[in-house]
Structures are given as structure tokens and as C-alpha cells.
């Protein structure tokens, strides 16, 4: 889209602020992982710089796990402005002996809206050191519980939660959805 999606303004908040606000209802600490910390100065120190700079979401996950004190972390892509507390609670109910709880929505694996256990850190580092950047490669190496069944009354909640902005048309949709909130 030609700009940092996390910093796109939707109403009175950026996308990142919207995501962090939702995560505050679910987790005790929230962080932004970024290559360029200077873009996120308004976040008052809640920004972690990638150790593996420029290596994509897998590197971001590595940084988040390395800095987290909690055993589990929630990962949200920076282009998902309507992430929803209920979905995170639902996913957390599936935590068991797995190392990740990853949703499948409308037949698509959603690794950037998932829960990951700290025990996968060494696997991530090894993948990155081997030049692998794909989250899907990580999912092949760890024990994953995939969640595909959603409460039927959550059709709209899930549609919003898994909505992401990939192009200017999606941004227009996001702004339209925002107008419906008020």
C-alpha cells in the first residue's frame, strides 16, 4: 500500500493503537515489533526491534517471544484493525499440550492471528539462521492445534477479526466499517 499499515489512521486511532487496545483486554502486556522503532515513538517504549532485521513475520515472532515473560503470546498482523477480544478468549480455551493455537478461517490458516508458546523460540532461531522466513515452515516443525470451528453466532465477529488490509480497496472497506461502529 506504500505506507506502514500499522500507522494508518482509522478514525482517532492508528491501526496499531486499535490492535493494542484490544489486546489490553486479553493480555497483561502488549508490544509492537518493528524493524524501524523510530516510526513508533508515540508508543512510549512498547516497541521491540527485530533481532533478525528484514526477515519478516517469523523474525517478529522471534523478537516477541524473546522479550516476553509470559509463556504464551498472542500475535496479530499489523493490518488487522478489527481484531476481537472474544476470538482471543476462544483461542486461549484451546491451549493444551500444543505449542501453538492457530485459527483456520474460511479455509485459510491464520498464523498472524494466533497464540504461540515460548518453547518454540529455539526452533524459530534455527529456521531464521537457516534462511527460512515462512511462518508456515515453523508450523510444520512444531505441535500446532488448529481451530476451525467457530460459534455460529460469531459470523460477523470472525469476519471482522480476520479482516486485513492488503490494498487501498481494503483500506476503504476498513474506513467504511469504522463508520458503521459509531
Segment 14-72, tens digit of pLDDT? 898 888 888 888 887 777 787 776 677 666 657 777 788 788 899 999 999 998 889 99
Cα–Cα distance, 47 to 123 (Å, whole number): 23
Domain of residue 24 covers 5-181
Summary mean pLDDT of the chain: 89
Q: 176: domain CATH number?
A: 3.90.550.10
For the chain, percent helix, then strand, then coil, each to nearest 5?
45, 20, 35
Percent of the chain with pLDDT over 70: 95
The total number of structural domains in the chain stands at 1
Write down the pTM of the prediction: 0.91
Give all strands (DSSP E) within 12-71, no chain letters.
13-14, 32-34, 47-49
Amino acid at each position: 500500500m506504500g505506507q506502514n499499515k500499522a500507522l494508518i489512521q482509522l478514525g482517532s486511532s492508528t491501526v496499531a493503537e486499535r490492535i493494542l487496545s484490544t489486546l489490553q483486554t486479553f493480555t497483561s502486556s502488549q508490544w509492537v515489533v518493528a524493524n524501524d522503532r523510530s516510526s513508533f515513538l508515540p508508543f512510549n517504549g512498547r516497541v521491540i526491534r527485530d533481532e533478525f532485521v528484514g526477515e519478516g513475520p517469523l523474525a517478529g515472532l522471534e523478537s516477541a517471544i524473546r522479550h516476553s515473560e509470559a509463556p504464551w503470546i498472542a500475535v496479530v498482523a499489523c493490518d488487522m484493525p478489527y481484531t476481537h477480544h472474544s476470538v482471543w478468549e476462544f483461542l486461549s480455551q484451546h491451549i493444551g499440550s500444543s505449542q501453538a493455537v492457530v485459527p483456520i478461517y474460511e479455509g485459510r490458516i491464520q498464523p498472524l492471528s494466533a497464540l504461540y508458546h515460548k518453547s518454540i523460540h529455539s526452533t524459530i532461531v534455527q529456521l531464521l539462521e537457516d534462511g527460512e522466513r515462512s511462518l508456515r515452515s515453523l508450523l510444520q516443525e512444531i505441535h500446532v492445534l488448529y481451530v476451525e470451528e467457530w460459534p455460529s453466532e460469531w459470523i460477523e465477529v470472525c469476519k471482522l477479526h480476520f479482516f486485513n488490509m492488503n490494498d487501498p480497496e481494503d483500506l476503504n472497506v476498513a474506513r467504511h466499517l469504522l463508520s458503521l461502529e459509531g
